[in-house]
Chain A
Amino acid sequence: MDRSRRIVLKGAGATGALAAALAAGLLRPGVAAAAWNKAAFDAKTTADAMKALGYAGAVESKDIQIRAPEIAENGAVVPIDITSNIPGTTSISVFIEKNPFPYTGTFDVSQGALPFVHLRAKIGESSPVRVVVTAGGKHFTAAKEVKVTIGGCGG
């Protein structure tokens, strides 16, 4: 599934004209504000966010590698590397389950990027970092626990 189709699906609230423009490929992917899935970003649980994204029922997979610290030195900046070994991967989504708004983002790798992303996120308290990979229109998931420590006063 390419990004523009994903955007049309996500942008259910978009006007007909915008949806048509998107479908026709007149707008560059990601540039259309309507693409940003407010319902998913506003969801207070991972389950609700996944539902809003159409990811409900994602299947557990061992082919998703999540590299993140066991214990984060600083919860304000937690480095996360994600690599999908699932053939045909088109997007990688991240949910920090214990954050007030778990859905952290979706990275579109359907148009010539390798199925990899490095990001740095705020993690408010120790939490599973859940990843959903979309490949061939199907959804796969894996998670890794990150512990967040209380800060020191040095630095």
Chain B
Amino acid sequence: MQKSFRAALATCCAVAAATLAHAQTDPTTEDFEKFRAVMEDANPAELWEVKGEQLWKTRRGPKNASLEQCDLGLGPGVVKGAYVQLPRYFADVGTVMDAERRIVHCMVTLQGFSFEEIAKRPFSSGNYTPDPVSIVTFVAAQSRDMKIAVPQSHPKERATWELGKAIFHYRAGPWDFSCATCHGEDGKRIRTQNLPNFTKHDQAPRSFIGWPGYRMTGGVMHSLQWRMNDCFRQQRFPEPGYASDTITALLTYMGVNSNGFVYKGPGIKR
């Protein structure tokens, strides 16, 4: 079963590589868009917002603390508007962190959870949702309808953007793929899925504004950590470590490229 799944994926991505079709407004796409609005009006992602809020406010972990003193960049405990200004530089750690990475950092430092334990099973599957995914869904929801404004004032933030750009265009792996192979030109798609060109300002936000997302396939909640990781898996790259510099750099690249657009997530995905 695993084998046939991989075979299907291979076919799927080979199609993407070989026959990327023009994906402008055809009737199928329009129909999908029409019903996506219906889906967004009642998005099961809200169930994880509720769960994430509880996790944020509950005293938990070896230190029996809540996350209400977690500094997401706007001061301890400030959640409103924090998500659209992440990733950003944090002086207390001397590095740039994305939203989920910062939440995990708070879970470790404030609540005493073990990073290694969290990183063992960081992605949702079946009926399992890791706590950071629920929490980042709650945090992201507190930035809904706000403008994306990922900062670039600190030199490390600019360096992280440059690193993200380099990773995005870096071709390697058994298929000689890069992120840009699928997401660096206009009008590409994989079967019925239109692929945004993240190098263009008007298309860049199409991913960023919709994550974290409820994935209809499997009915699970996923964060951008998973989304980035899964792109590497699909490219047959070695997968980056959870909450690593690589992911933060890619998210900085995508976030900054999306600046000025209104954040619409948490979203609902195919």
Contact = CB atoms under 8 A, between A and B. Distances in A.
Given A69-B32, A71-B28, A74-B217, A79 B39 contact: yes
B193 A152 contact: yes
Contact of A152 (B36, B38, B192): B192
B29 to A, nearest CB: 10
Contacts of A74: 216-217, 270
A77 to B, nearest CB: 4
A152 B34 CA distance: 19
Interface residues of A, number: 17
B102 interface: no
Given A152-B191, A152-B192, A153-B234, A73 B217 contact: no
Interface residues of B, number: 28
Contacts of B36: 73
Interface string A134-155: 0000000000000001111111
B219 A73 contact: no
Which secondary structure dominates where chain A touches chain B? Answer: loop
A73 B38 contact: no
A69 B189 CA distance: 20
Contacts, number: 61
Contacts of A69: 31-32, 34-35
Contacts of A152: 12, 189-193, 270
A70 interface: yes
Interface string A84-98: 000000000000000
Interface string B210-244: 00010111110000000000000010000000000
B217 A151 contact: yes
Contacts of A77: 39, 216, 219
A70 B192 contact: no
Interface in B157-214: 189-193, 195, 213
Given A76-B216, A152-B193, A154-B195, 4 more contacts: A73-B270, A77-B216, A152-B190, A152-B191
11 contacts: A70-B31, A71-B28, A73-B216, A77-B216, A79-B38, A152-B192, A152-B270, A153-B13, A154-B193, A155-B217, A155-B269
Interface of A: 69-71, 73-74, 76-77, 79, 81, 118, 149-155
